[in-house]
Chain A
Amino acid sequence: MLIEMQNLTKTYGEGDQLVHATQDVNLKILEGDFIAVVGPSGSGKTTLLNLLAGLLGPTSGSILHRGKEIQHLSMEERTAHRLANMGFVFQDYQLLPVLTARENVELPLQMRNMSQAEIDEKTAWAMTQVGLGDKFDRYPRQLSGGQQQRVAIARAVAGRPSLILADEPTANLDSKTAQDIIDLFKKLNQEFKLTFVFSTHDPRLIDQVKRVLRINDGQLREGKTP
């Protein structure tokens, strides 16, 4: 078991203003899962991903990562936990404009104090996997949107994390490029058993994933049918 959420609730505000972003969520994520979280805007998709990443702490309930409770960790400990165990892909890529593609991929590896040889090896592997082996030294502004998202994916997978979270990774891309990104996710999932959880509201992608989590008003339900 990679992740286990038990009776997880996250609320914002108080009194009449109380909003349940997630409500009594129970979820198990297995190693090698390929999961899409779907739901309308404001349904709680991003909150769920943020809870998985440890960016938010739950109001009640618990989150276990390989049996270890992460909700009680301090912010700094959660950051360290994320660095060691997770990769994150953003909707708008969030590449650092002053770094080349290679350096962007290197960034989290540098933070992990790896040797330069290990960093070089992992960076080359990740860039090759995303099909950008020839664009190492390009800056983000010199790459298309799809290529930038591939660099972001390379950055997320380079450290071979146990969980890759992606928040609407195809929302800014045209349909063909979006399909290419999902294909890349699938390839990395199948070849390297990397676990993916990504949010989307693109219905075309739903048929391509093993598991679909539907979230609405903070309530989570599993199944491909709406």
Chain B
Amino acid sequence: MSRQRFLLKFSWRNLGRHPIRTLIMALGLAFGTGYIIFALNFSASASQEIIADFLAQYFGNHQVVAPGYYPDIDKKKFDQNYTLSDDQVATLSPETYVRRVTLPIFLSGPRKTLGTLLTGLSPTQELRLSKVSKALSQGRFLSEDGVNEILLGEKLARKLGVKLGEEVAIFGQALDGSVANDIFHIVGLMNFGGGDMEENLAFTSIHSARTLAVIPENRFHQLISFGTFNDAPPPAPPGTEVVSWKTILPEIYGSMNFIDIFTWIVAVIIVVVISLGMGNTLMITFLEREKEFYSLNVIGARSSWIALALGLEVIMLGVLGIGTGIIIGNLVTSFFHVVPISLKLFTGGKDIMMGGMAIIPRVRLWHHHQYSWQAPLLVFFFLTLSLIFPIQRIIQRSRRAD
């Protein structure tokens, strides 16, 4: 035990031989580790917040549908003939789900008739759970007891040649095979940032949609979850299918993964650069002490003893630097949790368009605790690698050839 204590003391004091150099190396490790923790938290938080914001506007985190509603290959296509009943989803909490009816229709105004997707929704539930209403730019949101009220995207309204307060004609196919048609009154216009959604979506109350398409009052197409973004979807109740947003929007999930992988690649490059610098500085530091190592060998220090002493120095330096880096990374993350970063700095003041919707470019950083050990482990791994060559060379030199 005394031997280990002696070695620790020896290595610790050696760190103080060149205080400025030790400080620079420790700061390099600290800021490198801190930056990587911050960057990983930023990347994960940004993609999570942006996607959560996007999903909260319309798609939800997962949907419960009737098997067959989404054909297997392309989840963007659906078959409106597949509906669910309230009884089938009775086990799912109504606190986090909204019911929707989605109908492909033709919408006719004075200028044009356009194919559109009409979403029938429960106004009260949507106001409570989703952010659909946030896109309202003119007029009011749908009312629970309103009849044949409709919300249109601003772009869609312009193309149809209609304004707030005017009427549009809808015709399509009801579920009983009859022609569905009626006149709807425009109570509000929606602004999704000028994207495709603004051109393709119209909203009415679920009651009006059911009446239009002859759907019984207890049936609907989708039960959409607006719970916590990261929560795993629940098991599907019998006779239903649970579809995650990752399946419905694979291209957005793919981009999220790409950002994560890209951040890790950048992190590894940063660590490699730091390690090369560290390795070079360690080599210089150790070579300056070449005579000392030789003398140690003369008085009986085995190469393993010298290597252990040097290794301990670097481990202590690593613990100091990386430990400080963990604190820095988490403090910076905490700061940007309280003061979210506006991505408008990077987008020239414009909104981010995703899936046809404008996303508020503001990121609140969240602590992803796995990065507080993954990033330090990565830095420590490369620090250890950077140590191998200098130590090997020092040991060779300390044992001068015969």
Residues of chain A at the chain B interface (Cβ within 8 Å): 53, 55-57, 75-76, 79-80, 82-84, 86-88, 90, 94, 96-99, 103, 106-108, 110-113, 115-116, 119, 155-156
Contact = CB atoms under 8 A, between A and B. Distances in A.
A116 B2 contact: yes
Contacts of A88: 298-299
A82 B10 contact: no
Contacts of A56: 402
Nearest to A95: B295
Contacts of B7: 110
B76 interface: no
Contacts of A99: 10, 13
A106 B5 CA distance: 13
Nearest to B16: A98
B303 A111 contact: no
A98 B300 contact: no
In this complex, the member of B7, B305, B399, B402 whose beta carbon has the largest number of chain A beta carbons within 10 angstroms is B402
Given A90-B295, A97-B17, A98-B13, A103 B6 contact: yes
Interface residues of B, number: 25
Contacts of A103: 6, 9-10
Contacts of A76: 302-303
Leading 4 A-B pairs by shortest Cβ distance: A83-B300, A98-B13, A94-B295, A57-B402
B292 interface: yes
Interface in B1-35: 2-3, 6-7, 9-10, 13-14, 16-17
B297 interface: yes
A111 B298 contact: no
B303 A155 contact: no
B10 A53 contact: no
Interface of B: 2-3, 6-7, 9-10, 13-14, 16-17, 291-292, 295-303, 305, 399-400, 402
5 contacts: A55-B400, A82-B300, A83-B302, A94-B291, A110-B6
Provide the main secondary structure of the chain B interface.
helix
A94 B302 contact: no
A97 B296 CA distance: 13
A111 B2 CA distance: 10
Given A79-B399, A82-B300, A115-B2, 10 more contacts: A80-B302, A83-B299, A90-B295, A96-B10, A98-B14, A110-B3, A111-B300, A111-B301, A116-B2, A155-B299
Contacts of A112: 300
Given A80-B302, A98-B14, A106 B400 contact: no
Contacts of B9: 103
A79 B402 contact: no
A24 B235 CA distance: 90
B402 A119 contact: no
A159 B400 CA distance: 25
B367 to A, nearest CB: 39
Contact of A110 (B2, B14, B17, B291): B2
A57 B298 CA distance: 14
A53 B298 contact: yes
A156 B299 CA distance: 8
Contacts of A108: 299-300
Contacts of A110: 2-3, 6-7
